[in-house]
Amino acid sequence: MDAFSIPMEHDMPEGNRIISYKTAIQEATDQAMMHDSRVFVIGLDADDPSGMFGSLKNLSCQERVIGTPISENAVCGIAMGAALAGQRPICIHLRVDFLMSAMDIIVNYIAKWRYMFGGRVHVPLVIRAVIGRGWGCAAQHAQALHGLFAHIPGLQVVMPAFPYAAKGLLLSAIQDDNPVIIIEHRRLYDQKGHVPSEMFGLPLGKGYLMRKGRSLSIVAASLAVIDTLSAVDSNDIDADVIDLRSIAPLDMEIIRSSVKKTGKLLVVDYAYPFCGIASEICARVAETSFSDLRQPLARITFPNCSVPASGILEKAYYPSAKTIAKKALEMIK
Amino acid sequence: MNTPHRLPDSTACLWMLKKMILIRRFSEYLIPIYPTDVLETPLHLHIGQEAVPVGLCVHLTDSDTISFSHRSHGPALAKGINLQSLMAELYGKITGCSRSRGGSMHLVEPELGMHGSSAIVGGGIALGAGMALAAKLSNADHISVSYFGDGATNSGIFWETLNFSALKEIPLLFVCEHNHWANNMPAHHHMYGDPLLVSKVFMESFQIDGTDVLDVYKGMAQAVGYVKEMKKPAFALCKTLRWMTHLGVSYDETHCPENMRQKSCPIQKLQTIMMSENMIDASGIQHIIAEVDQDILDADTFAKNSPFPSPDSLMEDA
């Protein structure tokens, strides 16, 4: 069977079908492969029993799971060529850092093809990559580089925070006719939540209001959403919490309307600060919602240095629910 | 040509002669236009190298896919790109094959297996492999060709793709059009060893005289046939000569002077043999040239009369 149709959802439904983030990814992948013979998985260790930290375990169509040599640039190019020829590849990478070897293909090819050929070709390609953290992952295994990809026109970038979004965004990405980079956080893989068993999609480019409040708008993505919710819930902070879900396109509407209500904005982006998503959001809010602001914009990001290995330094490096709570409480004082 | 060939039939010979003349005359037609700046796009002409794409594409079907790079006109015309949409693309017109977004280096015709040519050397090799993987996954009968120059063998992605293709047994033909130059660097400076020595370890490999279309015809018949039948990759190294400078419309008089060009001209070589075999006479050749020239003039008129894209279309397909 070729192609599948999925209902587009938005709200996070309540329910008691509790599964993990990695299982949600596995389920979406398996369902997509069962329903669409063009879908295949390719990448380093894709066919290893470890199944990409469990997110590719026990897939029904093993013949369309292709393990590859450590050749990220060629593998991304091969996945793209297959997409041009009508397949729907999911190109997987155990770390975001490894994608740097494929930046030529991602930036000069995948992102450009549709525009450069006047819409005569398109690249229905999904790239999945994982951000690492902890246990001395260090500078080359723990980078969050979504800002780099989002900078390039032609790339869609999503960062699911919950099992529900992990499934819905992956299915939307597979179904989309244009390239989507899905950045997952290793720390989220064992997070659990309700996920409907049937296939569904979430719109690319739409954020979601996780908590409603009046005093402050907090915008975050991926793991930073979990920490933000923990900060807000355990300190009774009266804040809007926006889960971006998608970095590019960026849902500015949900941010603007929240800022209009609260007059205060804190952006939490677990990534380098310089020229990052937090900067972009602050710039756009300053451009278009300046008169709604009642105090300076604030950002919480990584410090402007690489990730260290030593546990002591790691602890100093990463922001946490505590960092977020402290800043949020300061802002609503 | 070292050994006498059994000649392909006259239909194939005429097809190849006409295609080579088309590439030659089209390229020569652009030479006086280019300095007038009506074509605002970097030209990399295929003059002198016509035998390689033509001797290859005579064996390909429309559904066989091919990836190629900045020196794009030769392979695109050999694979059958519409001349008018090619010319219009050079003029930056909306009727161009890439709707004016690509220019000379970025040609496309998905219906003929051309899914877009690249101006970054190397990457197209992997795209060709991806199309071969797609053919394998969908149990299709067609093959894919990664068409690149000797300069591309300098890149990591070439070796990555060679290794991947051999491991995964995909129906991919690597065609290295070895014109002895990587940009402005001669082969003996940019390439330590003959790529064929390595490719042989990975897959069936063929050495072909890229200045002789009959040798290309024969070699590619074997190479294409091997990939189609065995559903495994193969490698064809076609040594040829770059008559032109890397970029633009000047002949490289220093490295490829007149006498060298005459001796190595693939069109002359084929014409001589076809005439001696009574497949064509001088007036027949003149007839082909006149027909091709008329097509080029028509394409030029079409391109000139076509509209430019509207500035409002800037963000379309962004």
Angle (CA) A222-A224-A230 rounded to 5° is: 120
Please enumerate in sequence order all residues whose Cβ is within 8 A of that of A50, keeping only pairs 6 or more positions apart, or say none.
none
- Name the nearest CA neighbour of A46 among A28, A59, A36: A59
Instruction: Using the predicted structure, report yes or no on whether residue B122 has a pLDDT greater than 60.
Output: yes
pLDDT at residue A4 in the model: 84
Q: Read off the pLDDT of each residue in B120-125 and give the average, rounded to a whole number.
A: 96
**Digit-coded pLDDT (tens) for B58-108:** 999 999 999 999 999 999 999 999 999 999 999 999 999 999 999 999 999
pLDDT at residue B7 in the model: 85
B116 in contact with chain A, both atoms CB, cutoff 8 A: yes
Are residues B142 and B172 in contact, defined by beta-carbon separation less than 8 angstroms? no
Please enumerate in sequence order all residues whose Cβ is within 8 A of that of A318, keeping only pairs 6 or more positions apart, or say none.
A133, A270, A302
Q: Is A72 a catalytic residue?
A: yes
Angle (CA) A40-B69-B237 rounded to 5° is: 90
Tell which phi-psi region holds residue B231, choosing left (phi > 0), alpha (psi between -120 and 50) or beta.
Answer: left
- A-chain CB neighbours of B144 within 8 Å are 81, 85
| Number of neighbouring beta carbons within 10 Å of residue B228 | 17
Pairing assessment for the beta strands B65-67 and B144-149 based on DSSP bridges: parallel
Are residues B268 and B52 in contact, defined by beta-carbon separation less than 8 angstroms? no
pLDDT at residue A10 in the model: 80
Are residues B59 and B224 in contact, defined by beta-carbon separation less than 8 angstroms? yes
B157 in contact with chain A, both atoms CB, cutoff 8 A: yes
B115 in contact with chain A, both atoms CB, cutoff 8 A: yes
**Digit-coded pLDDT (tens) for A94-114:** 999 999 999 999 999 999 999
Q: Read off the pLDDT of each residue in A209-218 and give the average, rounded to a whole number.
A: 98
Please enumerate in sequence order all residues whose Cβ is within 8 A of that of B44, keeping only pairs 6 or more positions apart, or say none.
B70, B71, B72, B73, B104, B105, B244, B246, B247
A12 in contact with chain B, both atoms CB, cutoff 8 A: no
Question: What is d(CA B242, CA B181) in angstroms, rounded to the nearest whole number?
Answer: 8
- Return the SS3 of A99: helix
Angle (CA) A318-A319-A320 rounded to 5° is: 115
Q: Is A141 a catalytic residue?
A: yes
* Interface contact B127-A84, CB threshold 8 A: yes
- Name the nearest CA neighbour of A138 among A319, A328, A308: A308
Domain A208-332: give its CATH code.
Answer: 3.40.50.920
Look up residue A209 and give its two tokens: 């209001």
Q: Is residue B245 part of a domain?
A: yes
* Interface contact B318-A115, CB threshold 8 A: yes
The full set of domain ranges for chain A reads: 18-194, 208-332
The torsion defined by the Cα of B68, B69, B75 and B81, in degrees rounded to 10, comes to 90
Give the mean pLDDT of chain B: 96
Q: Is residue B200 part of a domain?
A: yes
Number of structural domains, chain B?
1
* Interface contact A77-B123, CB threshold 8 A: yes
Look up residue A155 and give its two tokens: 């790339």
pLDDT at residue A253 in the model: 98
- Return the SS3 of B288: helix
Question: What band does B1 get if pLDDT is binned at 50, 70 and 90?
Answer: very low
Question: What is d(CA B250, CA B266) in angstroms, rounded to the nearest whole number?
Answer: 19
- Select from A74, A83, A108 the Cβ nearest to the Cβ of B120: A108
Q: CATH code at B91?
A: 3.40.50.970
Instruction: Using the predicted structure, report yes or no on whether residue B168 has a pLDDT greater than 50.
Output: yes
The counts of H helices and E strands in chain A are 11, 14
pLDDT at residue B149 in the model: 97
More confident residue, A276 or A11: A276
Supply the range of the domain harboring residue B163: 28-257
Backbone angles phi, psi at B87, to 5 degrees: -60, -45
Question: What band does A2 get if pLDDT is binned at 50, 70 and 90?
Answer: low
- B-chain CB neighbours of A43 within 8 Å are none
Mutating which of B66, B153, B164 best tests the A interface, going by the most A Cβ atoms within 10 A? Answer: B164
Topology of domain A18-194, CATH: Rossmann fold (3.40.50)
Beta bridge partners of B221: none
Q: Is residue B98 part of a domain?
A: yes
**Digit-coded pLDDT (tens) for A138-189:** 999 999 999 999 999 999 999 999 999 999 999 999 999 999 999 999 999 9
B190 in contact with chain A, both atoms CB, cutoff 8 A: no
Q: Is residue B316 part of a domain?
A: no
Question: What is d(CA A10, CA A28) in angstroms, rounded to the nearest whole number?
Answer: 17
DSSP B34: G
Question: What is d(CA B41, CA B63) in angstroms, rounded to the nearest whole number?
Answer: 29
pLDDT at residue B127 in the model: 98
- Select from B102, B137, B157 the Cβ nearest to the Cβ of A74: B157
% of chain B exceeding 90 in pLDDT = 97
Give the mean pLDDT of chain A: 97
Question: What is d(CA B161, CA B181) in angstroms, rounded to the nearest whole number?
Answer: 21
Q: Is residue B9 part of a domain?
A: no
Look up residue A152 and give its two tokens: 């390039």
Please enumerate in sequence order all residues whose Cβ is within 8 A of that of A173, keeping only pairs 6 or more positions apart, or say none.
A126, A156, A158, A180, A182, A204
- Return the SS3 of B3: coil
DSSP A319: -
Q: Kindly state the helix (H) or strand (E) to which residue B67 belongs, with its residue range.
A: strand B65-67
- Asked, colleague to colleague, whether A18-194 and A208-332 share their fold, the answer is yes
Q: Is residue B302 part of a domain?
A: no
* Interface contact A77-B316, CB threshold 8 A: no
pLDDT at residue A3 in the model: 77
- Select from B96, B106, B163 the Cβ nearest to the Cβ of A69: B163
Look at A1-15, A218-232, B152-166, B265-279 and tell me which has the smallest mean pLDDT.
A1-15
Question: What band does B5 get if pLDDT is binned at 50, 70 and 90?
Answer: low
Indicate the residue type of A133.
R
Q: Which of A27, A72, A184, A314 is catalytic?
A: A72
Question: What band does B298 get if pLDDT is binned at 50, 70 and 90?
Answer: very high
Q: Which of A141, A146, A280, A314 is catalytic?
A: A141
